[in-house]
Amino acid sequence: MRTRAVVRQAVADDAEAVAAVRRVVAPYKVMSPAATRHMLTVQSPGERFLPLVAECDGEVVAWASAGLNVWTSKQGQAHLSIYVHPDHRKQGIGSELADRLHQHLTEVGAVRVRTFVQPEGLEFARNLGYDGTRQMHFSGVELTSLPEQPETPDGIELVAFDTVDPHAAYTADAIASLDEPGDSPLDSVDYDRWLEEIWNGPALDKSLSVAAMAGDEMASFTVVETHGDRMWSGMTGTIPGHRGRGLAKLVKSVALRRAAAAGIMSAYTSNDDENGPMLAINNWLGYRRVQTELGLLRTL
């Protein structure tokens, strides 16, 4: 007979256990315990972020979170995620977590919730009132054999993030994010919030993240997050005035080579199904699909 799970709010000391559950459920999503602790402790007050864990006999067997999207000007947009260890599914844990999070989001003024589920979670999500809108493809590559690095165009200098002004990185990130496929535009990225959550966060590996600089302007970039011998591509983008020059392919190729030289064995990334150019770049780099998650929406 199993002990009923106890749901409670997650705290910083849950970071190791939460990271472990995430890795079992979605091994293609790279997040270190340090980055998990940062996620649990550093958020904008406006996000009204609620992290939850479910415990059985003192062991964390599920993790869930929800909050308002503070990176968009569209009011009332929210995000929700639930990870239940495979050994503890179909016991009502996911439903209890969802109920708690939906109640919280309603109380803080959310009107529409975005979640992503693996194919086996689709029926569960639809029973909660979610419906499908898009697909997110996750891919991985072993860094043992990479294609030849493209030539660097004239007027472009390739540098690591630990040598650049964070204002230049923020500007490029904010501009490139405007074209990210999604249901809500990423058009309200506050610099101080970005600095605290992204630039100063432990996930960002500034020594391996690569920027293509055109003078003082960051023309293109790729963000690398690491944990042990694995890496995650947090974002790759090129600002409009420099597109069509192959810079995204270049910076990502350079980053993967530098990561391999630093002892990274595997790299993972994700791309919306509508992001054809980035999907093509990743295919060229040797990425192969490991999972497709379904993006779903629910109106509260």
The confidence score (pLDDT) of residue 182 equals: 86
The confidence score (pLDDT) of residue 279 equals: 95
**2 has a pLDDT exceeding 80:** no
The confidence score (pLDDT) of residue 132 equals: 84
What is the rounded average pLDDT for all residues in the chain? Answer: 96
Q: Are 237 and 221 in contact (CB under 8 A)?
A: yes
The confidence score (pLDDT) of residue 144 equals: 94
Q: What is the mean pLDDT of residues 262-279?
A: 95
Q: How far is CA 265 from the centre of its chain?
A: 20
Q: Which has more pLDDT, 183 or 62?
A: 62
The confidence score (pLDDT) of residue 156 equals: 98
pLDDT band at 114 (very low <50, low <70, confident <90, very high): very high
**1 has a pLDDT exceeding 70:** no
Euclidean distance between CA atoms 294 and 139, whole angstroms = 15
Other Cβ atoms closer than 10 A to 50: 20
